[in-house]
Structure 1
Amino acid sequence: MSVRTHDAPPPVRSTPPTRPRRPRPGDGAPHGGRERRSAGGLPYLLLLPALAATAVLLGWPLVMNGLLSFQNLNMTQLIQHVTEWAGTDNYRDTLGSEDFWRVTLRSVLFTAVNVALIMLFGTLTGLLLARLGPRMRLLLCAGLVLAWAMPVIAATTVYQWLFAQRFGVVNWVLDAVGFHSMAGFNWTGGQMSTFFVISLLIVWTSVPFVAINLYAATTTIPKELYEAASLDGASAAQSFATVTLPFLRPFLLVTTFLEVIWIFKAFPHIFAVNEGGPDRLTETLPVYAFVEGVGNQHYGMGAAISVLTILILLALMSYYLRIAMRQEEDEK
């Protein structure tokens, strides 16, 4: 009897796994490349309304002001609709005037002093906010926001009432504490006293912006860094120099940049207090341009002064930006 045995199955050959093919731009969509190109232009399309509004609201007035600075325009030409081109006479007369350079120096010094005071008190107030408890912090922030949100003309009116010669609160308080010679002091009768009132007003309305934003910047500093500094035996001053200040340095640079722009072009604070007086001794470049252009009805001259004001501000900002960029490169 024969026994039938089953044949052994043939050996199975293992095939290496195939790698998945990378998707190509045209796979899955007939117009993949076109969609990618359209998506790349979407950010520029979204920026188009803002750029158009900036060009209309800012660019067009600048162009018209530039054209006006080359014209001899007073009330007679304005009424008769006559365009009388003067070439560069307005710029030549302005740059050759001692009053212009005197006002320019005054504007630069005024900006430097006020920005330094704003950054000093704003930084101290912001650091105080970081140390206070929740209730006191909320109360102080409310007061800062109210001072910041007050309209400039309203704040100027309050300061005029505080520093009034006859019925001002400041003179009454000074007289009550023993300074009897200040009972009828005229704060807007001299150059330095007028600048003191204006600077006090500007600092009071500008410190809240610096303080609140600096407090927000301090909340981004990791607490572990302070703990590590304390374990290393660092004092409070050393912790501020090695931990706090490096984190706040970019914010301080940007805030100083903004404050220089805002203070240099400040107009309502100065004009509303005493209209650049007494004897035009507290005029800065914006007030000087307004008085020469609108007050004296030399509109072309006022336009030329305003253009030169913009150029001077750009020159100051370019120097400051070079300092900021150099500092960033040194940190890297």
Structure 2
Amino acid sequence: MTVQTERPPSGPLDTTPSGKSGSGGPGQRVTSRAGALAPYLLLLPACAATVLLLGWPLLKDVLLSFQNLNMAQLIQHVTEWNGIDNYKEVLTGEDFWRVTLRSILFTAVNVVLIMIFGALIGLLLARLGRRMRVMLMIGLVLAWAMPVVAATTVYQWLFAQRFGVVNWVLDKLGWHSMADYSWTSSQMSTFFVVTVLIVWMSIPFVALNLYAATTTIPDELYEAAALDGAGAWRIFSTVTFPFLRPFLYATTFLEIIWVFKAFVQVFAFNGGGPDRLTEILPVYAYIEGVGNQHYGMGAAIAVLTILILLALTAYYLRVVLKQEEDEL
């Protein structure tokens, strides 16, 4: 006696009440749509805060740059639009282009020094023992965490003309002419002190960033290179540097932005002096706008500063992307 069973249909099983299969109901579509919108909803608070804290002041600055605004207009609550006259006056003057060139050179020198010394200290951290590494990292963090105004004040004391530690040490070492030397009396000496200050404050970020990058390099690569008989320089160029290159690119990009807008160090140290010879663009915008009470002019300089910084960073990113494409 055989029992014949009915074979199921070859098509997909009909498990939905309406007889349709494979397509979700309204509830499933709502769930998938909510899942697709979830990343944008999570980013919404950050985007709103960015627009509120950065976008609105930037818009106000742009509007202010098209106005003739000084103390008289502020007192009378009068808005006097003058079109692009502020931009014409700035761009046709020699002072703006002189300060722009000075700012670019100042940024280039500082960034090169920061990256060289920061990279060397970062590689040193990777080679030190645990105790020495911890001690050096604590010193770096303390230098990094010091407020900018406090650090500038310390450097003013160190390089003071009469009672500065630097002049005293140089005098004891035999440079007696430096006993009463004024570091703020010339353009080069003032820039030298400000550069030392900025480099000293920026090195910890680069060093700690590069040290963290070295911890991501697999030990097997170093062992394989050593077995092949590679020397220290070849190991660095073929193993260490390729892993550090993305971190170097990103860190250099950040340092360009931070140094280019280093307002506090320059202004707090000597107010852009002597004779306004150490002004960089942020200081120049502040002095022209707030110091001379020509707020529309200062706003125009600030907008042009942002555009120049965007152009510099765009050029840097283009060079970096081109190098990465060539390597591929």
With the shorter chain as reference, the TM-score category is over 0.9
Structure-2 separation of matches of 1:197 and 1:293: 26
Inter-CA distance 327–19: structure 2 relative to 1 (3 Å threshold): farther
Answer yes or no: is 1:148 the counterpart of 2:144. Answer: yes
Map 1:55-94 → 2, pairs under 5 A: 55-94=51-90
Structure-1 separation of matches of 2:37 and 2:283: 44
SS of equivalent residue, structure 1 residue 280: coil
1:261–1:313 Cα contact (<8 Å) kept: yes
Map 1:182-261 → 2, pairs under 5 A: 182-261=178-257
Structure-2 separation of matches of 1:136 and 1:328: 36
Structure-2 separation of matches of 1:86 and 1:11: 99
Q: Deviations over 1:29-61 (max 9, x none)?
A: 651111101110011011111111111110000
Instruction: Mark the structure with the bigger radius of gyration.
Output: 1
Which residue, out of 300, 319, 324, partners 2:315? Answer: 319
SS of equivalent residue, structure 2 residue 67: coil
Q: How many residues align?
A: 322
Return the offset for 1:149.
0.1
Root mean square deviation of aligned Cα: 1.9
Return the offset for 1:155.
0.3
Which residue, out of 32, 37, 58, partners 1:36? Answer: 32
1:25–1:32 Cα contact (<8 Å) kept: no
TM (norm. structure 1) is 0.93
Q: What code does the residue aligned with 2:22 have?
A: R
Map 1:7-46 → 2, pairs under 5 A: 10=2, 24-26=22-24, 31-46=27-42
TM (norm. structure 2) is 0.94
Inter-CA distance 71–127: structure 2 relative to 1 (3 Å threshold): same
Answer yes or no: is 1:271 the counterpart of 2:305. Answer: no
Structure-2 separation of matches of 1:189 and 1:278: 6
1:198–1:270 Cα contact (<8 Å) kept: yes
Structure-1 separation of matches of 2:23 and 2:183: 74
1:25–1:33 Cα contact (<8 Å) kept: no
Map 1:43-54 → 2, pairs under 5 A: 43-54=39-50
SS of equivalent residue, structure 1 residue 24: coil
The match for 1:4 is none
Structure-1 separation of matches of 2:210 and 2:169: 34
The match for 2:302 is 306
Return the offset for 1:178.
0.7
Return the offset for 1:16.
10
SS of equivalent residue, structure 1 residue 41: helix
- Segments of structure 2 that go 5 or more residues without pairing to the other structure are 16-20
1:90–1:301 Cα contact (<8 Å) kept: yes
The match for 1:110 is 106
Map 1:109-148 → 2, pairs under 5 A: 109-148=105-144
Q: Deviations over 1:221-260 (max 9, x none)?
A: 0000011111111100000000000000000000000000
Q: What code does the residue aligned with 1:24 have?
A: G
SS of equivalent residue, structure 1 residue 31: helix
Structure-2 separation of matches of 1:317 and 1:139: 35
Structure-1 separation of matches of 2:113 and 2:248: 13
- Segments of structure 1 that go 5 or more residues without pairing to the other structure are 1-8
